[in-house]
């Protein structure tokens, strides 16, 4: 249960004074739904105002505070701006310009002949001085109410900066004094203030880098929670597994295992043989053969008389795994089953009975495989594919499906730099497949201006005329624009006007059966062109598809581009990836697309992307489950991950753990940053 002292911070923002339904919407858009979200909502920059007695051209470009008197209203028509002509104390002229149809409220705000204090950016418009939409209009005796230095926050339509400041002031009043959880020498070295004082400074003191301390808190809580998971796992009893190899020896593989695969299999087998449950991450680039390594772990469990399960984030991926493993296990005495949310009635009941009585050896499925009604006879090994799609708490639900804690192997194809693995998977040992199977063809990647779209479509026609198939991925779009679904539907309609029913469309909002039907038609070559959102990032294996077109590629993260590109290059035909880009590219975007063209090595891409633009998109790959880092910037994660990890280790190994005075304070940090699954593990352990 969350400590009572933190409850005010977890109250809904709608409980704050002045927040009704109208204001709740822009707050929700900014993910500011709780008081603590507002407390940690950092200013994007600070506005500095200059107080002047007279208007002067020397101040053009500055934000000024000055007293003026309105003398005239001018408007050229219903679509023209309203210009309030005004003069300062010595008669210097300024035009206060307001855009919009409602011209009544500026006139009420600035009645003719009445002096007002205004604040805003001074500009030149022709031969005149101008101020567009002054940010403050007050009475002369209120001049001291305008801050000379003001924090400016990220905003949303319907929520202005003044209102945001008022809300944050309310949250500061609700923030309690909290005991210190940072190791004293670390605190002294950095000269950081206490938690509450830092939270206040974040919003009230320009240049005070209070965000450093607050970011460190979040990273510390993250690493401490991971260490608690690791310690809890080591204290639990698992089942030592030593299969006899009879099933693995029967596998008829079309190729020799790579050295990296053999090394990873050996590391996993060593873990499985221990009584302490395995907790290991298997990293491997697209097409490196992770699934085969995982299959060896699954079969090891079956050889030893136990059950195993493989969890996938989507139904498409679950069925893909089921079909590929069925082919590899053909003729072998292994009962393989699948369970997804779509499976109902007698088929579902039969699967549940098979799990309960032990007749099903390996279960493949989505979240459905760890629901309450799903009971295993003796689950000993669990594999989670695309680990970043699941939170730690979701994974723990799966490990609770057995009397003894099952061994767990998590897999990810998302390239992660070594320096960031600790912040995302700090509770796990890591195995890495760093070479591709022999014969795997490199994908030729080209970057093409979207001004040549017609040429790309002509090339697409030639490609499918030669019996090829292609993916066409539509762009991620900004919130202010149409949705990515609308973009995909529009592109599909355009391509259908030329290619007819050879074009299919899949997106994340389609129901499972509908989506599967389109995918089956694509896999069976009935559909030649598959238009999609990023739903095809994982879980699609169509060897005949050898062309990938990614529209507006400069809007995607490098890791995601690499994942999408990995959907081709799976057959014998030469594969190509076309990255369509906009005309206006930043130097960083240009460098990133150039990198995609130069290499197919996902780990190099990840490291270079980290160097080029920081870890933002790499740390953002956890698309569901835990929210990742909300307070700490990617750069701060890189800077503080080492010290925070050492600090957490000192707490557990030297300072008495969570039962010590510092440990009791650290419990508050775990709850504050919603890593309290670490506390619950300790309690259950």
Kindly report, residue by residue over 157-214, the tens digit of the pLDDT.
889 998 999 999 999 999 999 999 999 999 999 999 999 999 999 999 887 789 999 9
Q: Is the pLDDT of residue 355 over 70?
A: yes
Strand order in the sheet with 469-473: 444-449, 576-581, 545-550, 469-473, 529-532, 503-506
Set out the domains of the chain in order of their start, with CATH numbers.
46-152 (2.40.50.140), 241-433 (3.40.50.300), 444-599 (3.40.50.300)
Mean pLDDT of the region 23-44: 95
Binning pLDDT at 50, 70 and 90, where does residue 615 land? very low
pLDDT for 392: 66
pLDDT tens per residue across span 89-107: 999 999 999 998 777 889 9
Q: Is residue 619 predicted with pLDDT exceeding 60?
A: no
**Contact, 537 vs 457, CB < 8 A?**
no
| Confidence check: pLDDT of 428 > 60 | yes
Residue 630 reports pLDDT greater than 60: yes
**Using CA atoms, how far apart are residues 128 and 115, in angstroms rounded to an integer?**
20
β-partners of residue 129 are: 124
For the residues 32-41, what does the mean pLDDT come to?
Answer: 96
Span 8-35, average pLDDT: 94
pLDDT at position 554: 86
Rounded to the nearest integer, the mean pLDDT of the chain is 87
* Of 159-173, 289-303, 365-379, 471-485, the least confident: 471-485
Please answer whether residues 241 and 410 qualify as being in contact, where contact means their C-beta atoms are separated by less than 8 angstroms: no
Q: What is the pTM of this model?
A: 0.76
CA distance 123 to 55: 11
**Cα dist. 98→61, 68, 75, 85 in Å?**
18, 16, 10, 11
Q: Is the model's pLDDT at 618 over the cut of 50?
A: no
Task: Answer yes or no: is pLDDT of 627 > 50.
Answer: no
Identify the pLDDT of residue 478.
Answer: 45
For 444, the token pair is 């030729």
For 371-390, the pLDDT digits (tens) are 778 899 999 999 998 765 56
The tokens for 241 are 């597994």
Rounded Cα–Cα distance for residues 199 and 214 (Å): 7
Q: What is the pLDDT of residue 191?
A: 93
Asked if residue 683 has pLDDT above 90, the reply is: no
Read off the pLDDT of each residue in 667-677 and give the average, rounded to a whole number: 92
Helices (H), 626-660: 634-653
What's the CA gap between 337 and 386, in Å, rounded?
20
Least confident of 153-157, 602-606, 635-639: 602-606
Token reading at 651: 């707490």
What is the per-residue pLDDT for 547?
96
Q: Find the mean pLDDT for residues 69-83.
A: 88
pLDDT at 437: 76
With bands split at pLDDT 50, 70 and 90, how would you rate the model's confidence at 678? low
Q: Average the pLDDT over 259-287 and give the result.
A: 92
Give the pLDDT confidence score for residue 621 in this predicted structure. 33
Closest CA to 542 of 565, 529, 524: 524
What SS3 state is found at 514? Answer: helix
Is the pLDDT confidence value at 272 over 70?
Answer: yes
Mean per-residue pLDDT, 490-500: 94
Taking 70 as the threshold, does the pLDDT of residue 328 lie above it?
yes
Number of C-alpha atoms within 13 angstroms, CB side, residue 38? 31
Residue bearing the bigger pLDDT, 65 or 542? 65
* pLDDT reading at 52 higher than 60: yes
The share of the chain scoring above pLDDT 70, in percent, equals: 91
Q: What's the whole-number mean pLDDT along residues 431-442?
A: 79
Q: What share of the chain in percent tops pLDDT 90?
A: 60
For residues 405 and 33, give the distance between their C-alpha atoms in angstroms, rounded to a whole number: 36
In the predicted structure, residue 479 carries a pLDDT above the cut 60:
no
Between these two residues, 152 and 434, which has the higher pLDDT value? 152
For range 246-275, the mean pLDDT: 93
**628 versus 79: which is more confidently predicted?**
79
Lowest mean pLDDT among 149-158, 170-179, 544-553, 609-618: 609-618
The predicted structure's pLDDT at residue 616: 39
Q: What pLDDT score does 393 carry? A: 65
Per-residue pLDDT for 490 more than 80?
yes
pLDDT per residue as tens digits for the range 114-123: 999 999 999 9
Interaxial angle between packed helices 453-465 and 484-499, expressed in degrees from 0 to 180 and rounded to the nearest 10: 60
**pLDDT for position 391:** 63
Indicate whether 499 pLDDT > 90.
yes
């Amino acid at each position: 249960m969350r400590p009572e002292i933190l409850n005010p911070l977890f109250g809904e923002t709608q409980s704050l004074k002045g927040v009704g339904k109208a204001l709740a919407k822009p707050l929700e858009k900014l993910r500011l739904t709780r008081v603590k979200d507002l407390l940690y909502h950092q200013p994007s920059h600070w506005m500095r105002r200059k107080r002047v007695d007279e208007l002067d051209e020397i101040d053009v470009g500055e934000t000024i505070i000055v007293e003026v008197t309105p003398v005239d209203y001018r408007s050229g028509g219903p679509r023209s701006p309203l210009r309030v002509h005004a003069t300062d104390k010595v008669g210097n002229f300024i035009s206060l310009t307001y855009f919009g149809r409602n011209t009544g409220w500026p006139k009420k705000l600035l009645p003719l002949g009445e002096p007002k204090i205004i604040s805003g950016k001074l500009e030149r418009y022709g031969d005149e001085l101008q101020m567009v939409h002054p940010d403050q209009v007050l009475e002369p005796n209120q001049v001291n109410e305008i801050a000379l230095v003001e924090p400016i926050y990220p905003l949303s339509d319907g929520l202005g900066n003044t209102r945001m400041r008022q809300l944050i002031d309310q949250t500061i009043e609700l923030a309690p004094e909290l005991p210190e959880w940072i190791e004293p020498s670390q605190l002294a070295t950095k000269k950081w203030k206490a938690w509450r004082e830092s939270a206040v400074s974040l919003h009230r003191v320009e240049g005070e880098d209070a965000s450093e301390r607050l970011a460190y808190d979040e990273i510390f809580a993250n690493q401490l929670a991971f260490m608690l998971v690791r310690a809890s796992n080591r204290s639990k009893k698992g089942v030592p597994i030593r299969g006899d190899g009879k099933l693995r020896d029967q596998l008829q593989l079309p190729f020799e295992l790579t050295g990296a695969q053999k090394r990873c299999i050996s590391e996993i087998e060593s873990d499985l043989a221990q009584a302490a449950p395995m907790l290991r991450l298997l990293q491997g680039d697209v097409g490196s053969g992770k699934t085969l390594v995982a299959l060896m772990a699954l079969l090891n469990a079956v050889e030893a008389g136990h059950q195993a399960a493989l969890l996938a984030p989507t139904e498409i991926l679950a069925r893909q795994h089921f079909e590929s493993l069925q082919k590899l296990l053909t003729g072998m005495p292994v009962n393989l089953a699948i369970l997804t949310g779509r499976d109902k009635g007698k088929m579902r009941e039969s699967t549940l009975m098979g799990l309960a009585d032990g007749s099903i050896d390996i279960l493949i499925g989505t979240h459905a495989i760890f629901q309450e009604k799903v009971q295993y006879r003796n689950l000993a090994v669990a594999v989670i594919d695309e680990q970043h799609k699941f939170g730690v708490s979701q994974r723990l639900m799966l490990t609770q499906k057995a009397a003894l804690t099952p061994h767990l192997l998590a897999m990810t194809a998302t390239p992660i730099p070594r320096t960031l693995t600790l912040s995302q998977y700090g509770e796990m040992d890591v195995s890495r497949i760093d070479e591709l199977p022999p014969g795997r063809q490199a994908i030729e990647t080209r970057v093409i201006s979207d001004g040549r779209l017609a040429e790309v479509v002509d090339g697409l026609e030639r490609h499918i005329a030669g019996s090829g198939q292609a993916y066409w991925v539509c762009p991620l779009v900004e919130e202010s624009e149409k949705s990515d679904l609308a973009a995909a539907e529009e592109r599909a309609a355009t391509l259908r006007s030329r290619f007819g029913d050879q074009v299919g469309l899949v997106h994340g909002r389609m129901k499972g059966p509908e989506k599967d039907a389109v995918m089956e038609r694509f896999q069976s070559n009935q559909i030649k062109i598959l238009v999609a959102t990023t739903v095809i990032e994982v879980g699609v294996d169509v060897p005949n598809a050898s062309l990938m077109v990614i529209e507006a590629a400069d809007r995607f993260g490098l890791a995601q581009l690499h994942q999408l590109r990995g959907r081709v290059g799976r057959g014998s035909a030469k594969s190509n990836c076309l990255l369509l880009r906009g005309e206006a590219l930043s130097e960083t975007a240009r460098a990133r697309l150039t990198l995609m063209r130069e290499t197919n090595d996902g780990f190099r891409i990840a490291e270079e992307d980290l160097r080029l633009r920081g870890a933002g998109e790499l740390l953002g790959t956890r698309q569901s489950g835990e929210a990742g880092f909300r307070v700490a910037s990617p750069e701060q994660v890189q800077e503080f991950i080492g010290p925070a990890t050492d600090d957490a280790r000192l707490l557990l190994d030297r300072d008495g753990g969570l039962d010590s005075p510092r440990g009791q304070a650290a419990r508050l940090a775990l709850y504050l940053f919603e890593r309290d699954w670490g506390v619950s593990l300790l309690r259950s352990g």
